[in-house]
Chain A
Amino acid sequence: MRNLSLSTLGPLAALILLIVLGAFLNANFLSAGNITNVLARSAFIGMIAVGMTFVITSGGIDLSVGSMAAFIAGMMILAMNAMIPALGIGLPLVLAGMGVAILVGLAAGFANGFLITKVGIEPFIVTLGTMGIFRSLVTWIANGGTLSLDFEARQFYRPVYYDGIFGIAWPIIVFAIVAVLGEVVMRHTRFGRYTEAIGSNDKVARYSVVKVERIRLLTYVFLGLLVGLATILYVPRLGSASGSTGLLWELEAIAAVIIGGTALKGGSGRVWGTVVGVLILSLIDNILNLADLVSPYLNGAIQGVIIVLAVVLQRGKSTAEGR
């Protein structure tokens, strides 16, 4: 945190305000159970948003992540169900399933990155296309219905979402690790600096002998990996995937990144800000459910207002500072 100005503290201030509001409205808000729920729920979008931070910082965008998550979940469930006769139910099956999720995630991210960097199509168009492709594929392999993991396998795999160590659920632990690693990579590695440089001005980066295409490709592969990781934690929750899995996750992830202070036009990434953004989004939902503040019809409006407010708070100074 190099410059502690209002602009960097804006999202944090919004988060603290929300927490105070929540605690004021409902006594159960700060209970361990509710905090676990909110953090574990945030983990999927959170991990994806960390990857999205890199993509957006490099000047790209990925609209396909929600559909990609559904597709990976579908492939993972299919693969695990198919491997039960060979591997039996146990650790090898779960590890194999996780391997499938990671591989499919890497492949999907690579496909996006390849089309963008090697074929040279706009990221918006490529990922709009793959968004449709992934979602149709999962609907197709599920025959329009829901793919469900075998019941016994599900029971064995279930603790990956619901259990944890020292009372902290696994999704929260993994999310925390991903967030810390993301922050370190963004701030303290060459990859992170190159990502920002490309997003700021890719021509200058190219003249400075940065391998622009390769770094761009890597940001999409990295995002695909994180979508795979998120899916690994998502599948044990309900043990199913369908055409409606991960609907609008891409927009939530992008919103979280922008709320957190990363510039949509690229060039400046804040991983910790993204984490705050994700928490803000989950907390709004949670508070609206816990308190009967407004008609549920207006939930979307309240979310919209808070998203815009969080960004206004944060932009107050950054426009004056310039870049």
Chain B
Amino acid sequence: MKRRHFFGTAAALAVAAATTGAVQAQDKTYTIGVSIPSATHGFMGGLNWHAQETIKRLEGTYPNVKFVLATAGEPGKQVDDIEDMLATRNIDGLVVLPFESEPLTGPVKAVKDAGKWVTVVDRGLAIEGVEDLYVAGDNTAFGRVAGEYFKANLKSGAKVVILRGIPTTLDNERVDAFEKAIEGSGIEILDKQHGNWNRDDAFTVMQDYLSKYPQIDAVWAADDDMAIGVQEAIAQAGRTDQMWIIGGAGMKQIVKQIMDKNPQFPVDVTYPPALISAAIEMTTLRFVSDTPVYGRFIIGSTLITPENAERFYFPDSPF
């Protein structure tokens, strides 16, 4: 599992702050709080797993670093978690994936104002300049990379359908980037309904697409959980050889099908749940070394193809 979380292509580290970590005495112990949403769907399940694995490994590597992991099912609980960490666990640093930007901004800023290191993951805060380090996937690239694949592999006049996630700005960014990428290709988007990043919902929406449209050449499922539901609906309609599906994230079942060269899943677009590992690892480096880790680290979205799929296949992960 060494450093697999650094596979981003567009990794960019920009210097934002001028303070460098002073040389740390080896015998001093540090506590890092990690606050993430609980495993409510596949992607978050993967993220939780990677967070636990990373913490386990880092605690073995650095005996003087302790971690406090808290998972929250809703923003209110996450605020409580963070306040508790600051008040009772005496954390030196916080790694947080905010459930929602607005409600978490205040509490995270309070941690920063108390002089602690703050790493924000994936979902930015409502105001700028709070976090020392920002680690995130690239939603625009996620939509663009998928769109470019559609443009390169479909003829003008081809018909596609889109499944959208839960209505959020993140989902809008992805869909806008996808639509921008296929602009001028003559590909027609027949429909885009919300499948809520959920297998069952995606199954239902795809069944209805199949009833509605006699010709569909490709599906942008935009999420691997949804891709599974879509695949099953297409199989039920007996139209498996008429269209291919592009999911997203890098779920092991989908990566496996790409490795096995299933024509239904030619490629996948990454949005790795292991991005939390990058955030925890870099935050830990801040305390155990002089490595400068402040700034922004954007993990690129890249294509998983049959040639490189091996690198993205984690059979032990639940996702």
Using a CB–CB cutoff of 8 Å, the interface residues on chain A facing chain B are 26, 28-29, 31, 33-34, 37, 41, 139, 142-146, 148, 162, 237-238, 240, 242-245, 247, 285-286, 289-290, 292, 296-297, 299
Give 9 new A-B contacts, CB below 8 A, not counting A33-B210, A146-B319, A286-B208. Answer: A41-B207, A139-B38, A143-B318, A144-B44, A145-B46, A145-B319, A238-B232, A285-B204, A289-B193
What residues of chain A lie closer than 8 Å to B225, measured between beta carbons?
Answer: 146
| Closest B residue by C-beta to A245 | B200
When the two chains form their complex, are residues A243 and B45 in contact, meaning their CB atoms are under 8 A apart? Answer: yes
When the two chains form their complex, are residues B39 and A139 in contact, meaning their CB atoms are under 8 A apart? Answer: yes
- Which 4 pairs show the lowest CB-CB distances between chains A and B? A145-B318, A144-B39, A144-B45, A289-B208
What residues of chain B lie closer than 8 Å to A292, measured between beta carbons?
Answer: 191
When the two chains form their complex, are residues A33 and B203 in contact, meaning their CB atoms are under 8 A apart? Answer: no
Set B42, B191, B205, B210: member contacting A146, Cβ < 8 A: B42
With A26-B212, A33-B211 in contact, do A289 and B205 touch (Cβ < 8 Å)?
yes
When the two chains form their complex, are residues A296 and B46 in contact, meaning their CB atoms are under 8 A apart? Answer: no
When the two chains form their complex, are residues A33 and B212 in contact, meaning their CB atoms are under 8 A apart? Answer: no
- B300: interface (CB < 8 Å): no
What residues of chain A lie closer than 8 Å to B204, measured between beta carbons?
Answer: 41, 285, 289
What residues of chain B lie closer than 8 Å to A143, measured between beta carbons?
Answer: 45, 49, 318
A145 to B199, CA, bound (A): 13
When the two chains form their complex, are residues A144 and B208 in contact, meaning their CB atoms are under 8 A apart? Answer: no
What residues of chain A lie closer than 8 Å to B236, measured between beta carbons?
Answer: 162
Quote the shortest CB–CB distance from B164 to chain A (angstroms). 7
Interface string of B39-67 (1 = CB under 8 A from A): 11110111011000000000000000000
A142 to B198, CA, bound (A): 16
- B317: interface (CB < 8 Å): yes
When the two chains form their complex, are residues B39 and A296 in contact, meaning their CB atoms are under 8 A apart? Answer: no
- B31: interface (CB < 8 Å): no
A289 to B211, CA, bound (A): 10
Interface centre among B46, B167, B211 (most CB of A within 10 A): B211
When the two chains form their complex, are residues B42 and A290 in contact, meaning their CB atoms are under 8 A apart? Answer: no
What residues of chain A lie closer than 8 Å to B194, measured between beta carbons?
Answer: 296, 299
Quote the shortest CB–CB distance from B156 to chain A (angstroms). 23
Quote the shortest CB–CB distance from B189 to chain A (angstroms). 12
Quote the shortest CB–CB distance from B116 to chain A (angstroms). 27
Quote the shortest CB–CB distance from A176 to chain B (angstroms). 20
What residues of chain A lie closer than 8 Å to B229, measured between beta carbons?
Answer: 238
When the two chains form their complex, are residues B208 and A290 in contact, meaning their CB atoms are under 8 A apart? Answer: yes
When the two chains form their complex, are residues A290 and B167 in contact, meaning their CB atoms are under 8 A apart? Answer: no
A148 to B225, CA, bound (A): 12
With A142-B318, A245-B200, A289-B193 in contact, do A31 and B45 touch (Cβ < 8 Å)?
no
When the two chains form their complex, are residues B45 and A146 in contact, meaning their CB atoms are under 8 A apart? Answer: yes
Interface string of B229-248 (1 = CB under 8 A from A): 10010001100000000000
- B259: interface (CB < 8 Å): no
When the two chains form their complex, are residues A242 and B211 in contact, meaning their CB atoms are under 8 A apart? Answer: no
Quote the shortest CB–CB distance from A144 to chain B (angstroms). 3
A-B contacts, 17 listed (Cβ < 8 Å): A34-B208, A34-B211, A37-B208, A139-B45, A143-B318, A144-B39, A145-B45, A145-B317, A237-B232, A238-B200, A238-B232, A240-B228, A244-B41, A247-B198, A296-B192, A296-B194, A297-B167
Set B41, B48, B49, B191: member contacting A242, Cβ < 8 A: B41
- B209: interface (CB < 8 Å): yes
